[in-house]
Amino acid sequence: GENVEQHPSTLSVQEGDSAVIKCTYSDSASNYFPWYKQELGKGPQLIIDIRSNVGEKKDQRIAVTLNKTAKHFSLHITETQPEDSAVYFCAAVGYSSASKIIFGSGTRLSIRP
Amino acid sequence: NAGVTQTPKFQVLKTGQSMTLQCAQDMNHEYMSWYRQDPGMGLRLIHYSVGAGITDQGEVPNGYNVSRSTTEDFPLRLLSAAPSQTSVYFCASSYSGQQEAQYFGPGTRLLVL
């Protein structure tokens, strides 16, 4: 079946440094790639997304890059802050109405003071 | 707007018992969905609905039933609970489908003994 692999599963960075989370998808028909942030005890919240017709998207300290040829996409967080500590999920969705959203297994990001 | 609400927040069931997890949204979203979240496995789609009266299966539908009689409500029913259904359940909604931001509820933690 379709699959999204996410790495690393845990990541610890010094406050102010950058963090990078990577995902690889298997379905070449995937064309929408959202990233969600989940804080402790809460539901996931969309932080950024990218569609297959662009290679990069930025929103302040957060950026996402997409390599369709290699079928992988990455989340980049610069100048990390304590409030960035959370679990991050990537996902992939195909354009077909029958396509089901597939989530990665998550990355627990910890920001060291 | 309250967004997406879920009840109960926490439930303990015995094997074989039935229960309904409630989900409601006040954003007039057409698309609603249910996920389960298990450690190390991310979010997996159980069932979804593209509008009132229309439902379909996701990645892991076995053991769960849904119905959508109104735009606002999308309950998830466990007819005969099993320990394998111990999980955290999230309801989500969006304007029209999977290729846009999903708004998640706060989750229901279910323990089946």
Please name the residue that has the structure tokens 């089901």: A100
Model confidence band, residue B21 (pLDDT cutoffs 50, 70, 90): very high
Split at pLDDT 50, 70, 90, the class of A85 is very high
DSSP string, B35-57: EEE-TTS-EEEEEEEEETTEEEE
Residues of B in Cβ contact (< 8 Å) with A49:
101
Residue A27 to residue B46: CA distance in whole angstroms: 20
- B101 in contact with A at a CB cutoff of 8 Å? yes
What's the mean pLDDT when you consider all of chain A? Answer: 95
CA distances from B65 to A43, A69, B49, B92, B99 (A): 22, 39, 12, 16, 24
**Strand segments (E) across B3-107:** 4-7, 10-13, 19-25, 31-37, 43-51, 54-57, 64-66, 76-78, 87-94, 103-104
User: Do the Cβ atoms of B40 and A49 come within 8 Å?
Assistant: no
pLDDT at A68 over 80: yes
- Could you give the count of Cα atoms lying within 13 Å of B49 in the half-sphere of its Cβ? 26
Q: Which of A43, A93, A97 sits opposite B106 (nearest CB)?
A: A43
Q: Is the pLDDT of residue A113 over 80?
A: yes
- Report pLDDT for B39: 87
- Substitution target in B4, B27, B35, B43 with the highest count of A β-carbons within 10 Å is B43
The stretch B2-23 carries a mean pLDDT of: 97
Residue A1 has what pLDDT? 64
pLDDT digits (tens, 9 = 90+) for B29-68: 999 999 999 988 889 999 999 999 999 999 999 999 999 9
Residues 7-36 of B with CB under 8 A from A: none
> What does the longest C-alpha to C-alpha distance in chain B come to?
37
